[in-house]
Amino acid sequence: MCGEVGSLDIVIERWVYYPTYPDVTDELKSARRSNRLLSALPSKALELLRQDMRQVSLQRGMVCFEAGQVINRVYFPLTGMISLFVVTGDGEMIETGTIGREGAAGLQSGFGERKSYGLTTIQIAGDFATIAATRFEQAVSNSAPIRDLVFHYTAVLWAEAQQIAACHAAHSGSARLCRRLLQVADCIGSDHIPLTHEYLATMIGARRTTVTLLALELQELGAIKCGRCKIAILDRRALEACA
């Protein structure tokens, strides 16, 4: 999941060994350290984003893209997390993916005007580096490293989506919950997860009461500690064994 798919690690290793450029701003340097996609870019490619990328703090619930809306910005999470949803005809929201510091939302706009398939929102508040889609498209067209990285990351997301679909079909609720907790921890770089049981139920496709019972079982095993609107991972190996 976030940070688990090996091909993304290969992409990152491919691009880190490039000379540095002193005119990259301190803000962009900070974003580069926090987001794995930005850190995977050579400094010469990153310089193409320098003038137009901004670091912002975004709150939970902010909508990045509505379903069917033209993608107008690209978001690189630094500390927060983005959720991707498909909204059914009766208004039910089903989470289809999460994006944390390993990736970005809206990257497909680098290849021209694109519409969002589903609803994309900020799920965990935090800091994000963001750039207008039109400016990102220009950078992609002028940089083979950026273009290649977008292609590879998109392939990783597709592989992850297939793995998640298989997990939902084959694994128990407890296994799905453990995987999601680990995934979110990787996304935000912290073992303290600010998510409610209600949202975790949406993530794993279960009732909130079921998630509460599963979380209590994991707490009794010493794997996690439940608090109000948050969960702390205490024993990562125990969760990995279950997931």
How far apart CA 165 and CA 127 sit, in angstroms, is 29
Judged against a pLDDT cut of 70, whether residue 203 lies above it is answered with: yes
Residues 94 and 57 in one domain: yes
21 falls within a domain: yes
Domains held by the chain: number:
2
Residues 161 and 211 in one domain: no
| Reported confidence tier of residue 29, pLDDT bands at 50, 70, 90 | low
Residues 139 and 216 in one domain: no
Domain with 159 in it? 6-166
Judged against a pLDDT cut of 60, whether residue 164 lies above it is answered with: yes
| Reported confidence tier of residue 10, pLDDT bands at 50, 70, 90 | very low
Residues 71 and 133 in one domain: yes
pTM of the model: 0.79
Residues 198-212 as b/e (b if ≥16 CB within 10 A, e otherwise) read ebbbbbbebeeebbe
220 falls within a domain: yes
Residue 225 has a pLDDT of 93
Using the 3D structure, point to which of 166, 183, 212 is the last residue of a domain: 166
How far apart CA 38 and CA 78 sit, in angstroms, is 10
Residues 48 and 30 in one domain: yes
Residues 230 and 141 in one domain: no
Instruction: For residue 33, give the CATH number of its domain.
Output: 2.60.120.10
What is the full DSSP assignment across 149-179?
Answer: HHHHHHHHHHHHHHHHHHHHHHS-HHHHHHH
1 falls within a domain: no
Identify the bridge partners of residue 127 per DSSP, sorted by sequence position.
Answer: 57
Instruction: For residue 212, give the CATH number of its domain.
Output: 1.10.10.10
Using the 3D structure, point to which of 148, 166, 184 is the last residue of a domain: 166
Identify the bridge partners of residue 208 per DSSP, sorted by sequence position.
Answer: none
Residues 137 and 235 in one domain: no
Summarize pLDDT for 90-112 with one digit per residue, the tens: 777 778 888 999 999 999 999 99
| Mean of the per-residue pLDDT values of the chain | 83
